[in-house]
Amino acid sequence: MIAAIFRVVLATTPRDFRTAYASSLERDFAEELSSRPSAVLRLGYAASATGDLIITAIDERTANFRRDLAFAIRSILKTPGIAAVIIATLALAIGANTAVFSVLRAVVLQPLPYPDSDRIVVLSGLKDGAPFGLSLPDFADAHRATQTLAKAAVLVDYSEEHVLEGHGEPRSVTLATVTPQYFDVFGIPPQVGRYFEDRDARTGGRVPIIVSEHLWRTALQSDRNVVGSILRLEDVPYRVVGIAPARLSAPGISAAHFDAWRVMSESDSAAGFYNRNAHMFSGIARLRGDATLAGARADLDRTFAGLRAKYADDRHYSVSAGRFIDDVVGNIRPTLVAIFIAVAGVLAIACANVANLMLGRANARERELTVRLALGASRRRIVTQILTEAFAFAVVGGTLGVLIAIAAVGAFVASRPSFVPRIEDVHVEGMTLLYTATIVIVTTVVSGIVPALTFARRDLAGALKMSGRSGDASAGERGRAALVVFEIAATLALVVVAGLVVRSYASLTSRPIGFDASNVAIVGPIQTSGSRYNSEERKAAFYRKTRARARAIPGIVDAAWSFAAPFVPVQWNQSFEIFGEPTPVGAVPSARMNSIDDAYFAVLGIPLRAGRTFDARDRATTSPSIVVNEAFVRTYLSRRAPLGTKLLLGGSSNRTKPRVYATIVGVVADARGSYATAALPTIFPALAQSPPYIAELLVKTRPGVAVDTALANIVSDVDPRFVRPEIASMTATMAQSAARTRLTMQTLVALAAIALILALSGIFAVVSYGVSQRTREFGIRMALGARPATIRGDVIARAMRVAAIGIALGVIGAGFASRALTITLFDIEAIDPITFGCVIALVTVSVLVAALVPAWRATRVDPAIALRYE
Amino acid sequence: MSRSEHPETPPLSAATFHILLALAGGDRHGYAIGKEVEEQTAGAVSLGPGTLYRILKQLTIDAWIAEIDSADDEHERRRTYRLTSRGRAIAQAEARRLDALVSVARARRLLPALAR
């Protein structure tokens, strides 16, 4: 029994130790044991001897590793140039992977910070299958009828900006409007006070409001007594009932940060909320009990089928339900996943390159390794030795990589990319480091295994006989060629993907947008609300006065107010009827609305196609005039003359406002509202006749004139209670709208460039090595009269044969990769022949160039010298 | 002087020196070395079997001792060790180093002076 334990421990010692001393140890142990007179003494000796053996086993095992490591570091230091290249390659690749993973983890992989957050679903309205917004009555009916939704609420699709006064500096507050159960959906308790209750929607008097933790902390000094008090936003008093925790200010279903939420009350009927045709809501709900998302979808489809049968107004409407997390990160997920795959590809290429360099180093040390083999080092020891070296490289590279990642992630987060949700959660932390550690291990194995196995298989006697210089290195050479094939294939796929995204971005941003964005600045948005602007006259007067001031600024050519400037993400859809045409029931036509003043088309350089734009004739007192765009005419007025046609805005089912017909006085050319979508049918009402509650001032300046400082004051000059407006150039706003595609493009291009450089250095190293191995052969051939061109051709042909295999495999890989990428591409076919052709040409030429230098060197060999080497 | 002869040799560990001392008295196999060490230290130093063979392995690699064939056992050959000339030199150097230390200790009256 005692001896058995001793033998088990003995088995844990390294093999070389065991082979040499196991029998001696066992015999000594038995002899010593039998010399003890009593069982107690025997047991005491057995325990101490076994303990001693355990320590010996640990010492022996780590001694091997420590020796290998010390040896690895010494041999790394012997070739500092190659070592530096290897470490830099790994640091960049591991750093890039660490950085991308930390973004992917925080933004995409991490669940939302609510209990059972995967049971929260978002409800979106559809019209004929396209996103259109829910109506409140439809939502209420559906919530009542379904068995699958527990708490559910809707939120108005637009938020309002109000000025908060009396709490330090006046500041702008983003106010959302929600139904009472909104906060209950998320399942986290309020910071202070309470959330809304169903009765809040019915009580008259002060409207209840919930304030965000951020506003409470920054403007209200975290005062708990705020709850129960009255908060004035402009002139409207609200009753504060609770403070929402910080987690709830995060991008919600409208991807906006809210400062406060007010409950939708029945007095809001004036706003037209309780109207089956008012499709201006998004819904959010928690699944009931054990209901599944699929079950909820089926349930909602059934309910909406009933609504469509019951209400003529609902004939074209339905609802879609999706996970909340998809709503928050759905847009960015394919982009980040694509970048993650690309960066993993770069790591694979980097590993191949490092393996290649290590093989090169090992070739140079061939004699040393061979001598060690001959002196009795086991092949396993040599393999362990090479893997230890790979491990040392990976650990140093990984450590530097983490530092690179921390810097890169810090810079990325500091740039506050607006298209990345949850960016505030992104940092390099424990989970990321665990991932990096895994990469380091994988890198060790991947970059070490090819050189290690190549050496383990090498024919010892042959290598020694050939004195290691012109020895048979064909196994090594084949291994290196295989690595280069892989590098070229992966690089080609990566360059193709980057090329597709570049083409896509170029095509996206070079689309004719239909207006002249140069030298145009956007001031605002400015919101005119509260009692100071409670009439259309007062609003119109404000717009008139501020515009006059803007126009008086030297350097400004013209200025125009507009409800929704192009590339500003604001939407206002309005249903309408055409006078004299029967409107099909349930198919009320609708169009984008954009209230503008008379200079709008001039400022943006949008040409007039027929009729006139607005002028002094279009006043509040005259009958309403409207201008429409060509898309509107194509869609709705193809069978009649547009000029003089009268439209009933709001449609016949809007009974809250008097029926007013507006007359089309002009038709303008189409202009895009964003890069991604074509020009939509649009109605332009005259700002003087229907001044909106919110608008932006578009300013056309003379080239090279800075007017921002002068513009910053025009609003407060007219009304000192306004906060300073934001000012942005039109071109910057447009660039912002393409920022996600641009960042994807820049990242992929950078990764593709790194991959190409790595692959070319791989080719270069392999061809150079091949040439150095064949020095003698070239010398003999040239001595026998071979022309240099023939030799050069021979070297290049060898390189191109390897490259051709890589390119062929790469084209196949690129085909799969780009097919997966199609969803994020604009206008480009996944198998785009131009991109593929260009990339194949680029890679071929690059390989040619990389092979040219060693090929040239091959013909510079002096035959006499080459032969003397032997 | 002794340091310059073997510049790569740091002061030896106690266990190593005891083993070299045991072998200075003649060739021995592993078990006997262990016993000898115990005897020459009056039981104060007892080497565990793992420790003993680990040191013997290292000393063999460093060529301070050598394995020799021995015929003192009819059935199985035991691994028997002999001090090499290199090992002897190192043991001497260590002894001199310790001797020098002891002289210092005497000069400082930590030990009684030697009788002349």
Rounded Cα–Cα distance for residues A11 and A50 (Å)? 12
pLDDT at position A657 = 53
Residue B97, min C-alpha distance to chain A (Å): 28
Residue A45, min C-alpha distance to chain B (Å): 9
Q: List the domain boundaries for chain B.
A: 2-107
Residue A400 confidence (pLDDT) above 90: yes
Residue A798 confidence (pLDDT) above 80: yes
pLDDT at position A403 = 93
Rounded Cα–Cα distance for residues A764 and A795 (Å)? 12
* A802, A527 Cβ separation under 8 angstroms: no
Chain centre distance of CA A36: 73
Q: How does DSSP classify residue A728?
A: E
Residues 6+ apart with CB under 8 A from B65: B19, B20, B23, B56, B59, B81, B82, B83, B84, B87
Q: For residues A23-37, give the mean pLDDT.
A: 86
Q: For residues A23-27, give the mean pLDDT.
A: 86
Interface-testing mutation among A9, A13, A17, A21, with chain B (most B C-beta atoms within 10 A): A21
Element (H, E) at A121: strand A120-127
Which chain A residues are Cβ-neighbours of B53 within 8 angstroms?
17, 20-21, 24-25, 56
pLDDT at position A102 = 92
| Closest CA relative to residue A803, chosen from A773, A774, A763 | A763
Q: What is the 3-state secondary structure (H, E, C) of A465-529?
A: HCCCCCCCCHHHHHHHHHHHHHHHHHHHHHHHHHHHHHHHHHHHHCCCCCCCCCCEEEEEEEECC
| Closest CA relative to residue A604, chosen from A679, A689, A539, A694 | A679
CB contact under 8 A, B79 and A56: no
Residue B115 confidence (pLDDT) above 80: no
CB contact under 8 A, A54 and B49: no
CB contact under 8 A, B50 and A55: yes
Residue A529 confidence (pLDDT) above 50: yes
Q: For residues B47-53, give the mean pLDDT.
A: 88
Which chain A residues are Cβ-neighbours of B76 within 8 angstroms?
23, 27
Rounded Cα–Cα distance for residues A32 and A186 (Å)? 73
pLDDT digits (tens, 9 = 90+) for A79-111: 777 788 888 889 999 999 999 999 999 888 888
pLDDT digits (tens, 9 = 90+) for A275-304: 777 788 889 999 988 888 999 899 888 888
More confident residue, B41 or A590: B41
More confident residue, A692 or A829: A692
CB contact under 8 A, B54 and A48: no
Q: For residues A388-398, give the mean pLDDT.
A: 89
CB contact under 8 A, A56 and B50: yes
What percent of chain A stands above pLDDT 70? 90
Which chain B residues are Cβ-neighbours of A24 within 8 angstroms?
29-31, 53, 78-79
**In this structure, what token pair is assigned to residue B77?**
């050959």
For B46, other C-beta atoms within 10 Å of its C-beta total 16
Mean pLDDT is lowest, of A455-464, A472-481, A528-537, A752-761, for A455-464
Q: How does DSSP classify residue A105?
A: I
Chain centre distance of CA A587: 38
Amino acid A797 reads A
Question: What band does A468 get if pLDDT is binned at 50, 70 and 90?
Answer: very low
Rounded Cα–Cα distance for residues A846 and A758 (Å)? 12
pLDDT at position A407 = 92
Q: How far is CA A503 from CA A499, A509, A745, A827, in A?
A: 6, 10, 9, 9
Q: How does DSSP classify residue A419?
A: T
Interface-testing mutation among A5, A52, A60, A67, with chain B (most B C-beta atoms within 10 A): A52
Using an 8 Å CB-CB cutoff, list residues of chain A that contact chain B: 13, 17, 20-21, 23-25, 27-29, 31-32, 48-49, 51-57, 59-60
| Closest CA relative to residue A259, chosen from A270, A248, A274, A269 | A248
What percent of chain A stands above pLDDT 90? 6
**In this structure, what token pair is assigned to residue A663?**
């007359």
Rounded Cα–Cα distance for residues A790 and B71 (Å)? 71
Rounded Cα–Cα distance for residues A665 and A642 (Å)? 8
3-state secondary structure of A590: strand
Question: What band does A467 get if pLDDT is binned at 50, 70 and 90?
Answer: very low
**In this structure, what token pair is assigned to residue A702?**
């003379």
Nearest C-alpha in A relative to B51: A56
What sections of A415-473 are H helices per DSSP?
430-457, 460-465
More confident residue, A781 or A809: A809
Residue A813, min C-alpha distance to chain B (Å): 53
Residue A656 confidence (pLDDT) above 50: no
Q: Which CATH class is domain B2-107?
A: mainly alpha
* A671, A603 Cβ separation under 8 angstroms: no
β-pair type (A625-629, A661-668): parallel
CB contact under 8 A, B50 and A23: no
Residue B7, min C-alpha distance to chain A (Å): 21
**In this structure, what token pair is assigned to residue B111?**
């030990």
Tell me which range, A421-430, A444-453, A518-527, A801-810, is most confidently predicted by mean pLDDT. Answer: A801-810
Using an 8 Å CB-CB cutoff, list residues of chain B that contact chain A: 29-31, 34, 48-54, 56-57, 76, 78-79
Residue A391, min C-alpha distance to chain B (Å): 26
CB contact under 8 A, A56 and B30: no
pLDDT at position A471 = 42
| Closest CA relative to residue A122, chosen from A421, A332, A327 | A327
Select from B31, B54, B57 the Cβ nearest to the Cβ of A28.
B31
β-pair type (B65-68, B80-83): antiparallel
Q: Give just the sign of the alpha carbon dihedral A825, A826, A832, A834.
A: negative
**In this structure, what token pair is assigned to residue A91?**
């640091």
Nearest C-alpha in A relative to B55: A56
pLDDT at position A650 = 66
pLDDT at position B2 = 37
* A422, A257 Cβ separation under 8 angstroms: no
pLDDT digits (tens, 9 = 90+) for A1-10: 777 888 888 8
More confident residue, A717 or A827: A717
More confident residue, A435 or A477: A435
Q: List the helix and strand counts (H, then E) for chain A.
A: 25, 24
Which chain A residues are Cβ-neighbours of B56 within 8 angstroms?
21
CB contact under 8 A, A55 and B51: yes
pLDDT at position A868 = 62
Tell me which range, A36-40, A739-743, A828-832, is most confidently predicted by mean pLDDT. Answer: A36-40
* A213, A249 Cβ separation under 8 angstroms: yes
pLDDT digits (tens, 9 = 90+) for A56-70: 888 888 887 887 788
Which chain A residues are Cβ-neighbours of B78 within 8 angstroms?
24, 27
More confident residue, A186 or A763: A186
* A228, A238 Cβ separation under 8 angstroms: no
Which chain B residues are Cβ-neighbours of A26 within 8 angstroms?
none
Question: What band does B5 get if pLDDT is binned at 50, 70 and 90?
Answer: very low
CB contact under 8 A, B57 and A20: yes
pLDDT digits (tens, 9 = 90+) for B96-110: 888 888 889 888 888
B61 CB burial (10 A radius; 0-12, 13-18, 19+): exposed
pLDDT at position A281 = 86
Residue A834 confidence (pLDDT) above 60: yes
For A816, other C-beta atoms within 10 Å of its C-beta total 11
CB pairs A-B closer than 8 Å: 57
Which chain B residues are Cβ-neighbours of A52 within 8 angstroms?
48-51
Q: List b or e across A319-348, with b for residues whose CB sees 16 or more CB atoms inside 10 angstroms.
A: bebebbbebbbeebbbbbebbbebbbbbbb
Tokens 């089309």 belong to: A664
Bridge partners, A561 (sequence order): A697
Q: How far is CA A334 from CA A103, A104, A491, A845, in A?
A: 13, 11, 21, 32
Residue A863 confidence (pLDDT) above 80: no
For A567, other C-beta atoms within 10 Å of its C-beta total 22
pLDDT at position A823 = 60
pLDDT at position A540 = 82
First to last CA, chain B: 26
pLDDT, averaged across chain A: 81
A868 CB burial (10 A radius; 0-12, 13-18, 19+): exposed
Q: What is the 3-state secondary structure (H, E, C) of A664-711?
A: EEEEECCCCCCCCCCCCCEEEEECCCCCCCEEEEEEEECCCCCCHHHH
